[in-house]
Structure 1
């Protein structure tokens, strides 16, 4: 019996050493990162570009597969990410060429991990985003100014990118604006990275637009609102915390399951309160996708202010070029 137990112990030890601990990162983390010279590794690849400005779009959490980290060619992820080009990134499509890389994103279950473990998994996708951005700058940008835009997990990844890369003044001079929407930029981020600035008016450039939509009192229910989060109000483009009435809302875009969109002006007002953007939709029954529970309007961060974002973008681009003359 002792011999059997001893042999069993060494068998388990051997398997452990060969396979690693059960809580280790999935083997996918060790796979080669995507080759962005290959078109299939892009969700959208504008060409030939016909606009003076680009947008580098990073899609939100759409992956629902069983492994915690998606394969770059996961068909469910691609199909769901394509929908974001209509429901979110179309804010930019009239004014900018869209470049949107595929990346190995994580599923929402990772949010239940400790922050340290989350970052281990999220770092897989970040490496893809940074590699895609470098490829874009070297091979696709051709000297044009650009916009960085994302939502949710995509904005989280872009927040890391701007902290790491926008300390380069040459690169920063090409930035029209960074839309870190559906994730937090905090006061600590701004203190630690003084080259990052929030947009404080409708014509500021080289700056960050960030907010997370919630009903009053629901700030702590939103996992995307981090301690010390700040917000830019998309109805005033200010950070002063003033309440802006719904009559300043040019139109919320409400998308049906079949993709059809209805534009609804004056759908909600907005006020930055305690790190969140508090909204009061006049018909909340039309907002049915609530992954973080009632009153957390995360999936509608772009939709609720669709027309204001779109109209302001053209103004902001014009302001950028006027300052470059």
Structure 2
């Protein structure tokens, strides 16, 4: 249904692009509705993954999903830019509409994933129950908090055009936006080692700290190629943190709460980068572009270190001994062993 909704929004963009005077306000409306549909779709996808992927392969599944996402982030805008340049906006939107037709037809063919027999009906009380559960799980709160501070202090994408200008490398702006995705893809493609790591909380914090260090270096270095390298390292570090964050969630959150917790995670995922760009722009206006970037990276490292020191349950998390992980593994094995299991 969300894919169908996104396709209908693309129809609006296509129609708008064909008007003699396209309406600017419609772009804002479509952007808001797109975010709303993504907010509905993403928790469902996250909840589905843990239902169909074996317990000990969730990290690998997260890596594969990341490759799909990052390659789309690199290839999609590049191809779209070429189509717009050579064929125009209506053709670009028309082709985009065709992709949604295909994705909707494929989604319709997906086998149903019925809720567990003890699942509750959706309600406001259920959302509150999910929030209470998250509050009681300090290691879960730690993953949300680490991600939030990393994005708030060290997500300067909004001022990349000014950083490129400051480095006298306006030609490299596209590369600056793509560098993080390149680093993420490289980590995802070489992520086999992650299945041998069990202290996921430490890796979440380590990845976020490395993200901050790389961003601090990107703001301090005067050479554009070194800056691009730092941005790629930052993207890889963020992917490391994200892989282990996703694994910790999927291996420990009960099925009946997974969608609600995915919604909370999406809230932190969406607000952190937006607030981070506001911080980066405001800091750049008060000081300078490069100061905003490097100081944000330093603040990120300090904040992650403070969280690591104040959240011992996150640092002590071990998927081999954590009671929530063991309970989920046992439930999965029992379900798979049952002859009536879906």
Q: TM-score range by the shorter chain?
A: under 0.3
TM-score (norm 2): 0.25
Greater strand percent: which structure? 1
TM-score (norm 1): 0.26
Q: Which has the higher contact order (CA 8 A, sep 6+)?
A: 2
